[in-house]
Amino acid sequence: MDKFVPKSNIQKILVVDDHESVLYATVNVLKQQYPEAEIFQTQTVKSALKELENVTFDLIIVDLAMPETMGGTAQPDNGIQLLKTLMRQYPTLNIVVQTANYRALVRLKAAISNHEGGFTVADKSVPMSEMLTKVDWSLKGLHNTPREIRSGLELKPEWLEVLQLACKEGLQDIAIAKRMNIGERTVRHYWTKIYDVLGVYPDKGKNLRIQAEIRAREEGLID
């Protein structure tokens, strides 16, 4: 399987936030954007993990400053631990972090880089329309993190090899996988990392691969 596939065709989304006003606003805008989806909501780390035990989700939207249990203190460390658990136990789960304290995510830099599912960050101070864009990108398996989180992140040798095989030799993902002796799913995972490092994200009417090639040539990664 290439993606985190639900048991039915109905998308299932879990929203985790202890602020009732934010939770209400997020859930309602999601219902408008995804009217056929099943939207679940919870307010603590413990209840979120319980939901994940019982339901196969396509996407989880989570705040960082969360209480571990109802009545507990909301702390970024709780959200960080929740994300660690999610990425370890559900490696292909699509994740959106909706927070005003995104700098704390630097502690998860390695885990985010290795995560196979979509992973995007939506600043709580931006309009809901931007949050929906991050939801869409995450559902597509893309990564989008603030520059502060990915600063210093270099293009790994295997990512560079994918770029060279695609842009210089014109190989498609199946052929790249055979050449590198890896799975096609792994090749697609490498592409999500390449896009994030190069700062290339979906733009209506533009091809992601072509934009990645242009940026890679501008940066001198390929001739």
Domain limits, the chain: 12-150, 157-218
Question: Which amino acid, one-letter code, is at 28?
Answer: N
pLDDT score recorded for residue 109 = 84
pLDDT score recorded for residue 152 = 53
The two three-digit tokens of residue 64, written as one number: 């960082």
User: What does the pLDDT look like over 144-177, one tens digit per residue?
Assistant: 998 777 665 467 889 989 999 999 899 999 999 9
Architecture in CATH for domain 157-218: Orthogonal Bundle (1.10)
Q: How confident is the model at residue 4 (pLDDT cuts 50, 70, 90)?
A: very low
Q: Are both 12-150 and 157-218 of the same fold?
A: no
The two three-digit tokens of residue 39, written as one number: 């939207």
Instruction: Work out the average pLDDT over 187-206.
Output: 90
The two three-digit tokens of residue 91, written as one number: 């490696």
Lowest average pLDDT, out of 20-29, 31-40, 178-187, 201-210, goes to 201-210
CATH number listed for the domain at residues 12-150: 3.40.50.2300
pLDDT score recorded for residue 223 = 66
Buried b (16+ CB within 10 A) or exposed e, 164-175: bbbbeeebebee
The two three-digit tokens of residue 138, written as one number: 């995450």
Is the whole-model pTM more than 0.95? no
Strands (E), the chain: 12-16, 38-42, 59-62, 94-99, 119-123, 143-144
What are the beta bridge partners of residue 119? 95, 143
